[in-house]
Amino acid sequence: MNPKYRQRDGEDLYEYGLRLIETKVEEKPDPEDLNWDDIVKATGMEYNSDSLRKAAAVTPYCGYAVAQYFKKKYAKQDDFQGNYIDELDCKIAEARKESKRLFDQRREFNKLVDKIGRIENLEDRLVESANSLNEFMPLGVNEVSPCFCDDSEAIVVFADWHYGMVTDNIWEKYDIRVCRSRVEHLVGSVIERLRLHQCRKLHVVLLGDMAHGAIHVSARVASEELVCNQIMQVSEIIAQAIDTMADEVQETIVHSTYGNHLRTIQNKNDSIHADNMERLIPWWLKQRLINRSDVSFPEAEYYEFLYFKVCGYGVCATHGDLDNVRNAGRTLNTLFVKKYGKSIDYVILADKHHKEEFEELGIESMVVRSLCGTDEYANSKRLYSTPGQLMMVFKPDIGADAYYQIKLG
């Protein structure tokens, strides 16, 4: 017998005999390598080789054929069970993935619901606080009836107050006391010019970053008030300023957008631009000035952009953190003409904290100074600018007839 047919390690005599019989029947090796006598001798069987050969004769019902039949049958069942188990594992895995996906969606939905709930609750609390304040410090009770001689309209821009910020450098000292003082000076200067031009209508444009917020560590360190307190305090200062200026004109319209310092998420790459606490300020203003029928708050229809007419001229205003003064006029005019069918004559931006102007294709674009002036970041970059705000006076058929860069430092 060929040595390759020897008994394997761990193989008992019965298993060894089955393997040799299967090899002899299926592979038909040369008799010199393996014959029936070799099998009998190797396995120690007690019957002769002819009996073994006949038992393994290839007929459907011989012992060998029956053994092979059930061997193959059980092998197929094992394959089926294995495939079934594999398929079942895949389905379980898919079910788990779908369950996880549903869990994540539900979690995000619950976060959104909680967030909406908090915002609505904050809005309700602001309204309640404003109504309570109206009881012992009402606004709009000393309305006057000024005399107008022409149809001029004015724009005054409130931008980059950064209420709550504290800074003290070679160029600038700023805190909430200085902020209030500058607003008082600003309101007085606006009133002088309203009377000078006898304006019938005043557009108050809130261009954002009215409070300092806490989007950076430096902002939190340089803040004198908590963010919620900043919003409530600056909202009240704005309300009183509007109330005072509204006494000088026949109609006051308040246009409001938001900046970037009061976004709810610090990382601007993860933040949704419109997810901004500054959008709460108009809620406070509406409730505080609810008794003034001459003050209105039109809804912003164009996302972060404000668009309104002044003496028939189209004005577009936005905070400016996403814009450049040199291409804003062309870009925004193209956008508004194509999407809304409205042309733009003037663009007003903020955010950059310095005065800048640019004209292209008859569109005047300008950047408004900040009320806060040079902060610590600007000082570290040697970026210096005089604090101030912008006022414009329009006349029919003329457009912007007077520009007042009201300096406040």
pLDDT greater than 80 at residue 284 = yes
Across 276-299, average pLDDT: 89
Average pLDDT, integer, range 22-48: 80
Q: Do residues 262 and 278 touch, judged by C-beta distance below 8 A?
A: yes
* Distance of alpha carbon 28 from alpha carbon 3, whole angstroms: 16
pLDDT in tens, 164-198: 889 888 888 999 999 999 999 999 999 999 999 99
The confidence score (pLDDT) of residue 198 equals: 93
Residue 85 scores a pLDDT above 80: no
The span from the CA of 251 to the CA of 70, in Å, is 99
Determine the pLDDT at residue 218. 42
Mean pLDDT across 92-105: 74
Report yes or no on whether pTM surpasses 0.85.
Answer: no
For residue 70, pLDDT over 80 is answered with: no
Q: What percent of the chain lies above the pLDDT cut of 90?
A: 42
Mode of pairing for the β-strands spanning 346-349 and 363-367: parallel
Query: Amino acid identity of 285?
Result: L
How far apart (Å, rounded) are the C-alpha atoms in residues 151 and 197?
A: 10
Between 12 and 160, name the one with better pLDDT: 160
What is the model's pLDDT at position 146? 63
Residue-wise DSSP of 113-158 = HHHHHHHHHHHHHHHHHHHHHHHHS-SSSS-------S--EEEEEE
**pLDDT, position 280:** 84
**pLDDT(370) > 60:** yes
Q: Is 353 strand, coil or helix?
A: coil
Task: Judge whether residue 52 has pLDDT over 70.
Answer: yes
3 state SS for 360-408: ECCEEEEECCCCCCCCHHHHHCCCCCCCEEEEEEEECCCEEEEEEEEEC
Decide if pLDDT at 273 tops 50: no
pLDDT at 156 over 90: yes
- The predicted pLDDT at position 226 comes to 60
pLDDT of 96: 76
The predicted structure's pLDDT at residue 193? 96
215 or 299: whose pLDDT is higher?
Answer: 299
H or E element, residue 13? helix 13-27
Residues forming beta bridges with residue 173, ordered by sequence position: 168
The mean pLDDT of 65-87, rounded to a whole number, is 61
Q: Indicate whether 224 pLDDT > 50.
A: no
The pLDDT tens digits for 200-213 are: 999 999 999 998 86
Query: Residue 115: what pLDDT?
Result: 55
| Assigned token pair, 317 | 């205003």
* Confidence (pLDDT) at 119: 59
Mean pLDDT of the chain: 81
Ordered structural domains, the chain, with CATH: 3-57 (no CATH), 138-407 (3.60.21.10)
pLDDT at residue 71, as a whole number = 66
What is the rounded distance in angstroms from the CA atom of residue 365 to the CA atom of residue 347? 4
Report which of residues 78 and 95 the model is more confident about: 95
Residue 293: what residue type? S
Statement: residue 58 has pLDDT above 70: no
